[in-house]
Structure 1
Amino acid sequence: MKKIYILFITLISTFAVNAQVSFGNMQNQISRGKDGINVFDVQKDNREFKGLSIDLGGAFNMDFQATNSFNDQPAGSTTTTTTASGTTVRTITGYRLMNTENNFTLPGADMYLGAQLFDGVRVNLDIYLASRHHNDSYVKGGYLQIDKLDFIKKDFLADVMKYATIKIGQMENNFGDAHFRGSDNGNTIRNAFVGNNIMYSFTTEMGMEVYYNRNGLVSMLGVTNGNLNQSNEEVFYTAGPNTNTTHSPSILAKLGYDKQLNEDLRIRLTGSYYHNANLGNANIYSANRSGFGYWGILNNNAYKNTITKTDADGNVISTTTTDVPTSFSKTSTPEATFNPNFKNWATTYMINPFVKYKGLEFFGTIELASGGDKAGTDDKRTANQYASELIYRFGKTEQFYLGGKYNTVSGKLSNADAKKVTVDKFEASAGWFMTKNILAKLNYVNQNYKDYSQFVGDPAAGNPNNFYGGKFNGLVFEATIAF
């Protein structure tokens, strides 16, 4: 946090010393408010370069949540394991899901710093000021965006750069289109709902992306080093096909068509690709550090796990009772999302259709993911996701909207599982843009978990699975500001 203050003071001092520095004169920048909705990838504009300029922005949200969680776990559970030497009985007492109050949750807050450094060249720094999984402010990412190569020579490759953009840095990687309509910590104004996709593709890795968009063509090719937390340490596996190896790069690609056919109709269709041949963990499904959109969902109260062992004749050998703590804490909660937990390798395809006719818009997601079961093996399993949003925007400036969304995911959590699990969700939302930078929305959610096992891991261990027959539903009122 101290470093952020120093950086901000330095920027202000620079402005005071150099009168030629301006504020807000940024080229090719997508609005962080209402005007940025349905603007994907990158964009070009004709804004004139007027020297060094500083950009300062922010995003904040505040949620009032009224939801309830349920599952099929009995108040007390008993598991029995019999071996040649005797019997082990594990009894669960005091287990129940935690109640949640109808109350406000921790607001999210972001800050954005940027600078127009040269004609067609700007730098961006995205900062999480307050988020669920960190007590301190920290940097989400920073990158350089190049829309012209005039710093090499005036009009260098001008015919190419008229349609091309280069992004370099530690940044939110552009896989698919769904993340452009999702919530990102305090920045929730682009999301017509409160929750993101159940299996949410989001990561920030060190890399480069090159775009070429022309006459409806949408294209992007990117590469990252595959690391969420940067490190040059060796990755070492003691068994399997990748013994004593290092991370492989992640490959990203997008190809599609996006055209405003007439005043009323816009059509967009993109296909995206992600692949990493050798990784420690699939960051793409586990890197959303700002957390799930709903708080305190499907968390258990503390309970007691009593283990009684008897010999083959039924005589009690030992009895041990341990306190199992709640899985809830104020700083971090187990996310009620779906993470396939791919390791060693992962490949994902995403198809996103988008149609907007006057105030009516449809957005869809087809996501087909596969990956290795665990580090050191090449066993393959899959997880498939489907989502559809239908939103109607109305009013003189489309300042109001009504929307519905259905989302379902199905896949095995590990190769050893006998069958797949399924999670599905329905959301309905109504929103009002009070201004282009202020949005109030009321959201209803109903999410269900199917075919989850009763216990986590070995049933003999007797650790209840909160997602067994799990579901939650309720209302969330969210107010968000972005500028």
Structure 2
Amino acid sequence: MKKFSNYLVVALVALMATSIQAQKINFDRDLDNFRYPDQRGINVFESPKDTTSTFDGVNVRVGGAFALQFQAISNENANLAGYEIKSAGDNFNLATANMDLDVELYDGLRLHLRTYLSSRHHNEPYVKGGYLLIDKLDFVSEGFLEEFMQYTTIKVGHMENNYGDAHFRRSDNAQALYNPFVGNLIMDAFTTEVGAEVYYRREGFIGMLGFTNGKLNQSVEENAKGKTGGASFLAKLGYDKQINNDLRLRLTGSLYNTGYVPNSYLYSADRAGARYYGLMQGAAASGDDFRASRYDPALANKITAVMINPFVKYGGLEFFGTIEMAKGKAAAEAEERTVNQYAGELIYRFGNNENIYVGGRYNLVDAEDISGEDVTIDRIQFAAGWFMTKNILVKAEYVIQNYNDFGANSILNEGKFDGAMLEAVISF
């Protein structure tokens, strides 16, 4: 998408020109059913459902995010001949940037589009994805299925799929303000596929069903079986309730399943790259392995993944957990393999409007590796952060990650990295 910037400008100008002719354009920063990209979006999961409408003509909200880290992390391994790793020193990482367009097109009809302007894996702007969010069907006719849509949301696009709750707290390239830590989970479930999701939310109950075409990179080319791809099924069931002024409880279970796809990217789709730069990479390798420091179980063609996420917030103290099991295989494998991930994070927020926090996270992956070995990876993170304003966050993290039971023919044999990160995030 090297020419995307030009296309974006043309599309935006065309949108504005058409709208000016049709009706008044507003540029309010507040939108209906919207997760704000600043401190107000902390601990918000799915976009809220509120049938109260403020629509008064097409409203274009242009937003963005910027993130910069200073990294002081060292890495090591067994240092066997042919498996030496690159040394990592102390310096700044590449600054990353996002641009967001959120457009109220009609009462209950909103568009979202995110573009990575600068990311670790791409040196040119490219579209992460976008979707149409439908909270009302008044564009069909006023009041159409009004009682049904009072509790229903429809989401359609080439978009970040809603598998699990952890992806709502992860750093998405430059949008790192929701993440109390610097790094995401070791097994980072995140993908963008073409599909649709239907939500039903009522009195704290959450239900979602979704289908996608199972493809990150879209193509109509047929494979050896005469197919252009497969399909993926998503589901989420849960409960989210503010019990009283101090206590909020949320518990969800999610499913992602595909019987066959040419290439599953559930744990490798983030083209923005891992937040820890230049670690656990072979000394002889050229370029940057942007996925290094994360773990992809390589369940490439068939996968069933289940994630359970409890969230409890009492006053300023919050706990978020992840229990995940993924099972599947690559097409060439005879037997399916199983990978488990566990994570727990405890955060305490205090100060004026909870603008300061401290916390820790423990993360463990236990996997039947594609190499045939049973391996584990564990990580401990300690973090502190300060919201200078609702749009500016500075945070610090100390991380220790260990690779256990990887064989002598792996770059990760007796692998380890540890050190500190400083990150500044601006999001608006």
Q: What TM-score, normalized to structure 2? A: 0.95
Q: How many residues get paired?
A: 422
Q: Distance in 1 between matches of 2:191 and 2:260?
A: 17
Q: Distance in 2 between matches of 1:59 and 1:71?
A: 35
Is 2:11 the counterpart of 1:7? yes
Instruction: Tell me the percent identity.
Output: 49
| Aligned match of 1:58 | 64
| Aligned match of 1:338 | 295
CA shift in 2, pair 1:301/1:248, >3 Å: closer
CA shift in 2, pair 1:275/1:119, >3 Å: same
Is 2:398 the counterpart of 1:410? no
In structure 2, stretches of 5+ residues that fail to align are none
Alignment of 1:115-194 (within 5 A): 115-194=103-182
Selected match of 1:435 from 385, 389, 399: 389
Selected match of 1:467 from 393, 401, 412: 412
What is the CA distance between 1:228 and its match in structure 2? Answer: 0.6
Is 2:265 the counterpart of 1:283? yes
Q: Distance in 2 between matches of 1:10 and 1:438?
A: 32
The one-letter code sitting in structure 2 at the alignment partner of 1:72 is A
What is the CA distance between 1:70 and its match in structure 2? Answer: 0.8
What is the CA distance between 1:358 and its match in structure 2? Answer: 0.2
Q: Distance in 2 between matches of 1:328 and 1:144?
A: 37
Selected match of 1:478 from 410, 419, 423: 423
Alignment of 1:380-419 (within 5 A): 380-414=336-370, 417=372, 419=373
| Aligned match of 1:460 | none
The one-letter code sitting in structure 2 at the alignment partner of 1:473 is D
Secondary structure of 2:70's aligned partner: strand
8 A Cα contact 1:429 1:444, kept in partner: yes
Q: Distance in 1 between matches of 2:13 and 2:75?
A: 46
8 A Cα contact 2:53 2:107, kept in partner: no
| Aligned match of 2:234 | 252
Q: Distance in 2 between matches of 1:297 and 1:14?
A: 49
| Aligned match of 1:292 | 274
Selected match of 2:31 from 9, 26, 35: 26
Q: Distance in 1 between matches of 2:308 and 2:33?
A: 26
Deviating more after overlay: 16-25 vs 263-272:
16-25
| Aligned match of 1:359 | 316
Deviating more after overlay: 259-268 vs 35-44:
35-44
Larger of the two Rg values belongs to structure: 1
Q: Distance in 1 between matches of 2:133 and 2:291?
A: 35
Selected match of 1:36 from 33, 36, 41: 41
CA shift in 2, pair 1:175/1:334, >3 Å: closer
What is the CA distance between 1:184 and its match in structure 2? Answer: 0.6
What is the CA distance between 1:403 and its match in structure 2? Answer: 0.6
Q: Distance in 2 between matches of 1:198 and 1:327?
A: 24
What is the CA distance between 1:327 and its match in structure 2? Answer: 4.3
Q: Distance in 2 between matches of 1:406 and 1:191?
A: 15
Q: What TM-score, normalized to structure 1? A: 0.84
What is the CA distance between 1:159 and its match in structure 2? Answer: 1.3
The one-letter code sitting in structure 1 at the alignment partner of 2:360 is G
CA shift in 2, pair 1:376/1:101, >3 Å: closer
In structure 1, stretches of 5+ residues that fail to align are 78-91, 237-242, 303-325, 456-464
Q: Distance in 2 between matches of 1:17 and 1:208?
A: 32
Q: Distance in 2 between matches of 1:426 and 1:328?
A: 28
Alignment of 1:298-313 (within 5 A): 298-302=280-284
What is the CA distance between 1:247 and its match in structure 2? Answer: 2.5
Is 2:197 the counterpart of 1:209? yes
The one-letter code sitting in structure 2 at the alignment partner of 1:203 is T
What is the CA distance between 1:328 and its match in structure 2? Answer: 4.0
Q: Distance in 2 between matches of 1:355 and 1:384?
A: 23
CA shift in 2, pair 1:122/1:401, >3 Å: same
Q: Distance in 2 between matches of 1:397 and 1:267?
A: 20
8 A Cα contact 1:131 1:290, kept in partner: yes
CA shift in 2, pair 1:422/1:327, >3 Å: farther
Q: Distance in 2 between matches of 1:436 and 1:10?
A: 33
Q: Distance in 2 between matches of 1:335 and 1:5?
A: 34
Q: Distance in 2 between matches of 1:376 and 1:72?
A: 30
Secondary structure of 1:289's aligned partner: coil
Q: Distance in 1 between matches of 2:242 and 2:365?
A: 32
What is the CA distance between 1:284 and its match in structure 2? Answer: 0.8
Q: Distance in 2 between matches of 1:346 and 1:181?
A: 23
Secondary structure of 1:4's aligned partner: helix
Deviating more after overlay: 115-124 vs 398-407:
115-124
8 A Cα contact 1:344 1:377, kept in partner: no
Secondary structure of 1:267's aligned partner: strand
| Aligned match of 2:400 | 446
Q: Distance in 2 between matches of 1:139 and 1:244?
A: 29
Selected match of 1:379 from 320, 327, 335: 335
The one-letter code sitting in structure 2 at the alignment partner of 1:176 is G
What is the CA distance between 1:107 and its match in structure 2? Answer: 1.1
8 A Cα contact 1:344 1:376, kept in partner: no
